[in-house]
Amino acid sequence: MNAVKEFQKNILAESIPNHPEDILLAFEDFELLMMRYESAIREIQTKLEILNAELSLTQADNPITSINSRLKKPASIYGKLIRQGNEISLESVEENLNDVAGIRVICAFVDDIYKVARMLVRQDDIKLIEIKDYIKNPKPNGYRSFHMILEIPVFFAKEKKPIRVEVQIRTVAMDFWASLEHQIRYKKGLPKEKADDIAAELKACADTIADTDLRMLSIKEKLGPVT
């Protein structure tokens, strides 16, 4: 981190220690920027809904069981910029953060995850920026999910803006585990020994869930296509 960024980090942290998000909210165009991210979410979510509707008619298949979206909160945006050593500005948010806008897609089966991802990136107005496959390469704690950073052009009154959105695709079982793991991980006051034991249990649960996902997929394949 260079001296200017270090100085900025220290000054900003000292000036509003309890409410760092106010720094971002004070920027004149912050709400406009968030509206643009929200618009990008709607663009991609609509594409996913259309694909799911088409497959339900043409192949009697609904690979997507639910779609959820979120915008990163100002405090989280600020915190990530600081952790990465980036300046605090709207331009910095756009240049350095890929997950301000997020969509979570829940599928019934593991093969549906890859089917949805392939269909989405084949669309010619979507640019694939990055893939992280935590299904084939789970995190050490057992976390599994398929992540993509996508860029989509969004048309506004006077301009067209490419906006990045993080899309996470996972099965119902993966999402269930991730939700519980998040709650437990942020539980305060756990002694280290107990926290380590719980981490080991969570990892074992993640492995069991992954095995169940594969077994359910095997059953689906044995049944063959639905007619």
| E strand map for 22-87 | 64-71
Instruction: Please give the C-alpha separations between residue 206 and each of 104, 134, 157, 174, 221, in angstroms, as whole numbers.
Output: 19, 12, 47, 8, 23
**Does position 19 have pLDDT exceeding 80, yes or no?**
no
**Does position 107 have pLDDT exceeding 90, yes or no?**
yes
Which residues sit opposite 66 in a β-bridge? 106
Distance between CA atoms of 107 and 76, rounded to whole angstroms? 27
Q: Provide the pLDDT confidence category of residue 60 given band limits of 50, 70 and 90.
A: confident
Which entry of 54, 94, 166, 221 is annotated as an active-site residue?
166
Position 39 scores a pLDDT of 97
Nearest residue to 203 via CA among 171, 220, 180, 226: 180
Instruction: Please give the C-alpha separations between residue 187 and each of 26, 75, 180, 198, 204, in angstroms, as whole numbers.
Output: 32, 20, 11, 11, 19
Is residue 166 part of the annotated active site? The answer reads yes
Domain membership of residue 76 (yes or no) is yes
What mean pLDDT value characterizes the chain?
88
**Does position 17 have pLDDT exceeding 50, yes or no?**
no
Domain membership of residue 216 (yes or no) is no
Q: What is the pLDDT of residues 68-96, one digit of tens each?
A: 999 999 989 998 999 999 999 999 999 99
Q: What is the pLDDT of residues 177-204, one digit of tens each?
A: 999 887 777 666 667 777 788 888 999 9
Residue 98 buriedness (CB in 10 A; 0-12 / 13-18 / 19+): middle
For residues 152 and 41, is the Cβ–Cβ distance under 8 A?
no
Domain membership of residue 201 (yes or no) is no
Kindly state the average pLDDT of the residues 54-79.
90
Domain membership of residue 195 (yes or no) is no
Distance between CA atoms of 82 and 76, rounded to whole angstroms? 10
Domain membership of residue 223 (yes or no) is no
Q: Which domain holds residue 125?
A: 3-171
Task: Give me the number of domains the chain comprises.
Answer: 1
CATH number, position 138? 3.30.460.10
DSSP per residue, 168-202 = EEEEHHHHHHHHHHHHHHT-TT--HHHHHHHHHHH
Distance between CA atoms of 73 and 80, rounded to whole angstroms? 11
Domain membership of residue 40 (yes or no) is yes
Domain membership of residue 202 (yes or no) is no
The structure's pTM equals: 0.85
**Does position 226 have pLDDT exceeding 90, yes or no?**
no
Q: H or E segment at 148?
A: strand 146-155
Domain membership of residue 94 (yes or no) is yes
